[in-house]
Every structure is written in C-alpha cells, then in structure tokens.
Amino acid sequence: MSHTFIAGAGMVRFGKYPVDVTFEKLAAGAARSAMADAGAAVADIEAVYVGHVFGGPVAGQRVTAQLGLSGLPVSNHENYCASGATAIREAWVAITAGLYDIVLVIGAEKMTDRVSGGVMPDPTDLDAINGMVMAANHGMSARRYMYDHGATREQIAAVAVKNHAHSVHNPYAQYQRPISLREVLDARVIAEPLGLLDCSPISDGAAAVVLCSAKGLAALGHRSAPRIAGCALVSGSTVTSAASINAEDVSRRAAEQAWAITGIGPADVDVVEMHDCFTIAEIVRLEGLGVVPHGEGAKWTASGETSIGGKLPVNPSGGLLSRGHPVGATGVAQACELAWQLSDRAGDRQVEHAQVGLAYCKGGTVSGTDGGSVTVLLVHR
Amino acid sequence: MSHTFIAGAGMVRFGKYPVDVTFEKLAAGAARSAMADAGAAVADIEAVYVGHVFGGPVAGQRVTAQLGLSGLPVSNHENYCASGATAIREAWVAITAGLYDIVLVIGAEKMTDRVSGGVMPDPTDLDAINGMVMAANHGMSARRYMYDHGATREQIAAVAVKNHAHSVHNPYAQYQRPISLREVLDARVIAEPLGLLDCSPISDGAAAVVLCSAKGLAALGHRSAPRIAGCALVSGSTVTSAASINAEDVSRRAAEQAWAITGIGPADVDVVEMHDCFTIAEIVRLEGLGVVPHGEGAKWTASGETSIGGKLPVNPSGGLLSRGHPVGATGVAQACELAWQLSDRAGDRQVEHAQVGLAYCKGGTVSGTDGGSVTVLLVHR
C-alpha cells in the first residue's frame, strides 16, 4: 500500500473554442502543463488515465500519441460528469496497488462541437422521456427545498453570485467577471424557479494532474505535495430514491464511504469543490454530504459562510457554474483546484489555512435511481 | 497484495439480436449467469467494472440497476476492442490493492443496432482517411506475410477453418457449424487476399466474470478457482511502427510486460485466446507474443499445431472469427473461456492438461502508431 500525491496540476482555460481546437489539443495542453508543474518528463510517466464522455473510442491514445507518451498503458474512463473523477480514482487505486509510481490523469471534453442546448438524457431513460430532464429535476428540487426549509429564491441565486465572484480570480475559468443577484433573478427562465445563470454552461476544456507514490514524488525531486487520502465511488440506488427529491441518499452514501476509507470526518473539511451543475444542487449536495447542516445550505450561502473567508468555502474555483463544465474535465479540474489550495498556490482565491479539501462529482441519471455515479475525493496537505 | 481468482463465468450466446434485446438485457443476462456460476448473490458483489464502446454514457449503471446491484461503485471502461479486457484489468488492480474481495466484471455490446458494414475508423485518423481502414491494413499484412515467409493463402485461410471447427463445441458461439477451406477461399473478397470468412463478424453479446480475492473466494465457498496471474496493458508506439506492417512491436511489448508482471514465460502457455479479428491477425500476433516462432504461424495453423490437440491450441472458443466479436464483450468472453478451460469445464472443446492460459486483445488504431491498446491476460490453475 502506497500513499498517492498530487505532484503537479495543469489546465487549459475552460470556455468555447473553435472547431480546430480539438479534444486532443485541449487535453494535450492540460497534460503538458501538469507535467511541467510536476517537473515530470515524458520518460517519467508510467501510465495514463483519461476521463471523457464525448471524445470517441481510444480518445486517450490519440492524446498520448500527440504528447510523445505513446506505448504506455492508457485507459479511458466514462462515468458521465464524474468521468474525470473516476479516472483519478482508478489511478489512485493503481498507485495504491503498487503498480505505478508516476502516472498522468487527464480529463477533457470538447462539447461545443457536439452538444447544443444542453446534454441530452439517454433515450431509454423513462424519467427523462416523461419530462424529468436535468433542468426540470433541479427546478423541482429548488421548489421543494424552498417549501421544506423556508428558503428564498434569492438565497438559491446567491450560489451563482458567489461562484462567479470567486472565479474572477481564476485564470482558467470560463467566466471571470462578477455577476449581481439582480442578473441571476432576471435571467431567462429555464425551469422554474431556475434561470439561465442557475445552470452550468456548455464548455470545452481540459485538466490534468500528475499522481505519484512517495517513491515517485521523491524521484521527481519534491519534498512534499498534497496527498490523496482516498476517493469514494457509488452509484444511484433504486431502493431509496423515492423518499424525497432532496433526500440525497447517494451523496450521504458517497460521503460515508469516503469517511470510512480515509478516517477523515465532515468536520475536518476546510474547502469544498462541489458539483454545482445547478445552483440548488450545490446546496442540497453539501447537506447530503453532511458538511453543512440539513436545511441550512441556502442560509449559509446567502450569509457568506460558503464564500472564501466564510466558515466553509465552497467552489473557490468558481465551480461548474462559473469555471465552466466540460463534463469529462470537471473532476480533474476540481483536483487541480484542491492541489493549488492545499499548497498555497491559489492566488487571490486562496482559502487560508486549509488543511483538507473535498471534491464531489455526480455523473448521469439512470431511470428510477437517484443518480448514475457519485465520487467524493479527499485531499489533504 | 491479494491474489485474484475467477470464481464464476457467464455469457449470453453471441449473435445478431433484434432491437428489443437491448444492451442492458444482454449484459444483465451474462452477469446473472456469472453470478450463478460463482454462487454470488446480489449482496456479495462489492463493485462493478464494465467494458463497452457503443453503450452510451453510464451504460454500466443502467445494467446494474436492472440487476438490483444499484448503489455500488460502477465504472465504465473504453479501450475499443480491448474494452472488456481493460475492465478486467482495472478490477484485478482494485482487488490487488485490497479495495474489494468480490467484484463483477461485465463486457457487452449491442452492435447490430448501431454499426453497419464494419466498425468505422475515427474521422481524425489520417491513415484511415487515406484508405488504411482495418480490412485494408490486414490485407496488406497478409500479402507481406506471404512474401516474407513463403506462406500460402490456404495456410492463412486455415485459421478460419480451425476456429469454426472449434466453436462447433461452444454453445455461446455465434457460428456453430464447421466451414471448409474451399468456403473460405471462395468467399466474397473484402481486401485482397482476404475474403469475408477471414473477417470477424458484427455481433451482439455479453460476457461476465466474478473476480475474487482469496478471502472472497472462501466466502463464496470455493476451495479453488483459476487465478489471474496478471494483465498487461500497452498502447501503440509512434517510434517503431514504421519498421514493417508485421513488426508487431506492440504485441512484443505487451507480452514482455505480462511476463515481467507474472513471472510466467512464453514456453509456459498451454492455451491461447487470441484477438483474431482477421485470420492473418491471429498468426502475426502469436508470433509477436513469442509463443509461436517468427514466420512459423501459418505453417503451424495448417498442420494443426494451433488446433485443440496440437502443440499450442489457439482459440478453442472459436475466437472472434467464429464465437463472434461484440467488441466490448470480447475480452471478458476470452476470460470466460480461460476460466472454463482451466477448470476442466470446456466440454468437447477442452484442451487437455492446460495449466496456463493467455488472452490477447487489441483495440483501435491511432494514426501513426502501431495500435490503440493491447492487453495480455495470464490465467493459471
């Protein structure tokens, strides 16, 4: 059993790129940046783990061939919006098993060429066929949350205001200007009560990390680096999904697995990168994890407790809402942000004195379950 | 570090199924069969690894929800025709790491709904755009092999005759009737000198195995089971691909990695499941692995040395040519065959006294490299 460290992190700025900026170019750009950050040469990398959804067959091998990393073990991992996080998890397992000392993990997606008007649900998803598409689901979640906890529309909208304020300081974010509460409230309605600025955008982008065993870390000349304490993975359950749209049983189970693997508890977490595909999702998932008290998430957000400087800063990167959401890249981008936060390299969005970071991804829906896949990654100094 | 055993294996018959026999149904059928074979109940399974290419996002979760396995860690693995083998490899790594004791691996594909006239190369593959599609590549490989080694068209065609003869005894094979040399030679030309019966078919199907640690094996009440000694994974190299179309550097490197991981050598191998997507591919890949002497593969085939009862039986299952080739399922089907062969459960296609089995998969092409991904799985009694 070996520990796993994040020796380097790199991204290309998330956004909308023209057709000739391909999946391969975005992914290779992030990989080069992470390798440079780690001080890792081509010859140092032993294996490559790639997360993507829309890149097509052997997408990772097309990227590694461009990087001069050809010939290595390359595996492609898909778990919808948790694909990048799943790739990190498999790499962590392989290092834990003692199979490798230095590996590259890449998450990438070129969405603007392929996706228009939002990611479509699977054609066999009976819930979606009957109208429960992503936005509708989260709109209902918001209404129920407001009813159950007396939360206001403004408190939910405050998630978007906060995350956009954070990413003003993130050079890799798709959006880097602050937005006002008024702008969120006045935006075009998507699924009542949620409007356009409550929804994460369609994005292109890539992120990469170099993961190492203790031996690999020393070989690259590092004395220390943020360490992956563990990564949980669960899928949605058919048993519990009917309880309430905001039951978040899948988040609770993922958190419990993460605490069990790592010995870290919810009170230890200092900074969170949360899968805020919609504003309300950030709130209910924080509560599902148990890092924010049940029913308090909206209030915490509105009063600044989840802002940088607050009790538990959430999405200092800007999150999916403002850093952007190239689906396969998101989980790896979260890991980049935690690596930078936990080595005091996050610039003007640094969370002071953060010791433990948590990243949460949720990927896909499956008819009759409370989600496709959920990952919880725990990283500490 | 824990050993990994194949506690159970199951398949649905490969073939062409109507639209209402979905990916999910095929995969769930194979999974139920493997779990029954292992004596594993739903509550015994700790995680699920799925290999597929065309199943769409979170395909594995759609299958596990049907099986009542919802809630578990599920990951989807893509490495084109080596996708199922890659899923097995990741499961083996996780058991080795001590993460799980009992896991389910599923490989599945529903191709007839999606693919017509052959699997299309990636639109960015420059070699393919210029005519080097799969069949053309293997046609050139055959011509070169005949030129270099004085092999005959008949010797190459003998691969198809042999594999169809083997799968007469495989109830899961797409084709279960013998074919004559004449039929192979007279079949419609696809890419000279190769005809239709030199090519693996478009198939639907699924296969599954239950993998266990020693602890998991005991918990399921088994005293012994075939053991996975290791699984190598490499990708094509840009450095060496120009040497010769039959250089098979990628096979050599995969084999070397497999021998290094396991301590098994080429002389120890008693039975091979080979990725015979085309007749000639079986020959050159056996030679690339070093289990058949360079330039001797065609002769060995024609003289029966790679038939059941010969020096090194290859594809007792019928291989891709005759068992069929639902791409994501193939690697797992190979593992099923090795599990049955190494526990004396292969019926009339049993290879007597086999102690060590090798399964080889090759997935995809990447422009300018000698392949996308290659796996070598070694299993022993």
> Are the Cβ atoms of A62 and B122 closer than 8 angstroms?
yes
Which of A21, A54, A78 to probe the B interface (max B CBs under 10 A)?
A: A78
Host H or E run for residue B38? helix B23-38
Helix H, strand E, coil C: the string for B204-258 is: EEEEEEEEECHHHHHHCCCCCCCEEEEEEEEECCCCCCCCCCCCCHHHHHHHHHH
Q: How confident is the model at residue A241 (pLDDT cuts 50, 70, 90)?
A: low
Q: Is the pLDDT of residue A116 over 90?
A: no
Q: Are residues A333 and A361 in the same domain?
A: yes
Provide mean pLDDT across the span B269-278.
Answer: 98
Structural domain total, chain A: 2
Per the DSSP assignment, residues forming a β-bridge with A212 are A5, A102
DSSP, res A44? G
| Same domain assignment for residues A66 and A185 | no
| Gap between the Cα atoms of B238 and B249, Å rounded | 11
Secondary structure class of A31 (helix, strand, coil): helix
Q: Nearest Cβ partner of B79 from A58, A64, A96?
A: A58
As a whole number, mean pLDDT of residues B293-297 equals 98
pTM: 0.96
Q: What is the mean pLDDT of chain B?
A: 95
Regarding whether B352 and B253 lie in a shared domain, the answer is: yes
Structure tokens at B264: 């098994």
Position A90 in a domain: yes
| Chosen domain end from A212, A227, A242 | A227
The greatest distance separating any two alpha carbons of chain A, rounded to the nearest whole angstrom, comes to 57
Residues 6 or more apart whose Cβ sits within 8 Å of residue A258 = A230, A231, A232, A264, A358, A376, A377, A378
Same domain, B349 and B269: yes
Q: A121 lies in a domain?
A: no
Residues recorded for chain A = 381
Structural domain of A215:
4-115+203-227
- Choosing among B24, B42, B75, B327, which should be mutated to test the A contact, i.e. which has the most A CBs within 10 A? B75
Give the minimum alpha-carbon distance from B158 to chain A in angstroms, rounded to a whole number: 31
B218 and B263 belong to one structural domain: no
Are A289 and A328 members of one domain?
yes
In this model, does residue A218 exceed pLDDT 70? yes
pLDDT average, residue stretch A359-381:
91
- Whether B249 and B332 map to the same domain: the answer is yes
pLDDT at A1 over 70: no
Q: List CB contacts (< 8 A) between B70 and chain A.
A: 235-239, 366, 369
pLDDT at A361 over 70: yes
For residue A77, is it within any domain? yes
- Which whole number is the average pLDDT over A202-207? 97
- A98 to chain B: which residues are within 8 Å by CB? 1, 96
What does the DSSP assignment read for B290-309?
TSS-TT-HHHHHHTTTTSTT
In a domain, B120, yes or no: no
Does B14 map to a domain? Answer: yes
- Alpha helix ranges (H) inside chain A: 23-38, 59-67, 83-96, 126-129, 134-149, 153-167, 181-186, 214-219, 249-262, 279-289, 297-302, 319-322, 327-341
Pair A107, A57 in one domain: yes
**Res A37 pLDDT > 70:** yes
| Contact check, Cβ <8 Å, A58/B98 | no
pLDDT band of residue B1 (cuts 50, 70, 90) is low
For every residue of A56-78, DSSP letters joined together read -TTHHHHHHHHHT-TTS-EEEEE
| CA nearest to B100 within chain A | A93
What is the pLDDT at residue A370? 80
Let me know if B85 is exposed, middle or buried by CB neighbors in 10 A (0-12, 13-18, 19+).
buried
Residues A307 and A264 in one domain: yes
Query: In B, which residues are within 8 Å of A80 by CB distance?
Result: 57-58
Q: What is the pLDDT of residue A243?
A: 73
User: Could A71 and B24 be called an inter-chain contact, meaning their C-beta atoms sit closer than 8 Å?
Assistant: no
Domain containing residue B171: CATH number: 3.40.47.10
Give B269 to chain A, closest Cα distance, Å: 23
Chain B CA closest to residue A86: B75
Q: Are strands A74-78 and A47-51 parallel, antiparallel or unpaired?
A: parallel
Q: What is the pLDDT of residue B241?
A: 54
> What distance lies between CA A266 and its chain's CA centroid?
18
pLDDT tens by residue, B72-103: 999 999 999 999 999 999 999 999 999 999 99
Position B365 pLDDT exceeds 90: no
pLDDT in the model for residue A238: 76
Say whether B81 is catalytic: yes
The pair of three-digit structure tokens given for residue B38, joined into one six-digit string: 């292992």
Mean pLDDT of B61-73: 93
Q: Give the mean pLDDT of A38-50.
A: 98
Pick from B47, B80, B237: which is nearest to A58 by CB? B80
* Interchain proximity A122–B57, CB inside 8 Å: yes
Contacts of A233 in chain B (CB under 8 A): 47, 73-75
Mean pLDDT throughout B305-318? Answer: 98
In a domain? residue A17: yes
Express each pLDDT in A263-294 by its tens digit: 999 999 999 999 999 999 999 999 999 999 99
| DSSP SS3 for A328 | helix
Instruction: Summarize pLDDT for A75-110 with one digit per residue, the tens.
Output: 999 999 999 999 999 999 999 999 999 999 999 999
A81 is catalytic: yes
Distance from CA of A177 to the nearest CA of B (A): 33
Interchain contact, B65 vs A368, CB within 8 Å? yes
At residue A377, what are phi and psi to the nearest 5 degrees?
-105, 130
- Amino acid B165 reads A
Share of chain A above pLDDT 70, in %: 98
Asked whether the predicted pLDDT for residue A18 surpasses 90, the reply is yes
Same domain, B76 and B196: no
For B27, the 3-state DSSP assignment is helix
pLDDT over threshold 90, residue B176? yes
Is B136 part of a structural domain of the chain? yes
Q: Can you tell me the distance from the alpha carbon of B349 to that of A368, in angstroms, rounded to the nearest whole number?
A: 43
Residue A280 lies in a domain: yes
Same domain for B160 and B177, yes or no, is yes
A150 and A83, same structural domain?
A: no
Distance from the B72 Cα atom to the nearest Cα atom in chain A, whole angstroms: 5
